[in-house]
Copies of this chain bind each other. A is one copy, B any other.
Amino acid sequence: MRVSHLFTKTSKTAPADEVAKNAQLLIRAGYIYKVMAGVYAYTPLGLRVLEKIKQIVREEMNAIGGQELIMSSLQRKETWEATGRWDDKVVDVWFKSTLKDNTEIGFGWSHEEAILEMMQQFIQSYKDLPVSVYQFQTKLRNELRAKSGIMRGREFVMKDMYSLHTTAEDSDAYYEKAIEAYKRCYDRFGIGDSTFVTFASGGAFTKFSHEFQTICDAGEDILYTNEDHSVAVNEEVLDDAARELRVDKNELRPVKSAEVGNIFKFGTEKSEKMGITFTDRNGEQKPFYLNSYGIGITRVMGVIVEKLADDKGLVWPETIAPYKVYLVSIGEKGASRADELYNELMAKGVEVLYDDRDERPGAKFADSELLGIPHRITVSDRLIETQQCEYTNRKDGETALLTYEEAIAKLI
Residues of B within 8 A of A7 (CB): 67, 119, 122-123, 128, 131, 133
The yes or no answer to A43 lying at the interface (CB within 8 A) is yes
A100–B142 touching, CB < 8 Å: yes
- List of B residues within 8 angstroms of A30 by Cβ: 122
A99, CB-defined interface residue at 8 Å: yes
Bound-complex Cα distance A36 to B74 (A): 9
Which of A9, A35, A131, A142 has the largest number of chain B CB atoms within 10 A?
A35
When distances are taken between beta carbons in the complex, the residues of chain B under 8 Å from A39 are: 72, 74
Does A64 sit within 8 A of B, measured CB to CB?
A: no
Q: Knowing A68-B47, A107-B107 touch, does A74 contact B41 (C-beta < 8 A)?
A: no
Choice from B47, B72, B95 contacting A40 with Cβ under 8 Å: B72
CA of A100 to CA of B140, assembled, Å: 13
Chain B residues near A114 (CB-CB < 8 A):
35, 41
Interface majority SS (helix, strand, loop, mixed), chain A: mixed
Distance to closest chain B CB from A160 (angstroms): 13
| B-contact 0/1 string along A119-132, CB 8 Å cutoff | 10111000010010
Complex Cα–Cα for A71 and B47 (A): 10
Assess the A76–B36 pair: CB atoms within 8 A: yes
> CA–CA, A50 to B142, complex, Å?
29
Query: 4 nearest interchain CB pairs?
Result: A95-B97, A7-B131, A41-B71, A44-B67
A-B contact pairs, 27 of them (CB 8 A): A5-B67, A7-B67, A7-B123, A8-B122, A9-B122, A30-B122, A35-B72, A35-B114, A36-B76, A36-B105, A39-B72, A41-B72, A41-B114, A41-B118, A42-B70, A43-B69, A46-B69, A47-B68, A47-B70, A72-B155, A73-B73, A73-B140, A74-B154, A95-B105, A99-B142, A100-B144, A107-B107
Q: Which residues of A contact B (CB under 8 A)?
A: 5-9, 30, 33, 35-36, 39-44, 46-47, 50, 65, 67-76, 95-97, 99-100, 105, 107, 114, 118-119, 121-123, 128, 131, 133, 138, 140, 142-144, 154-155
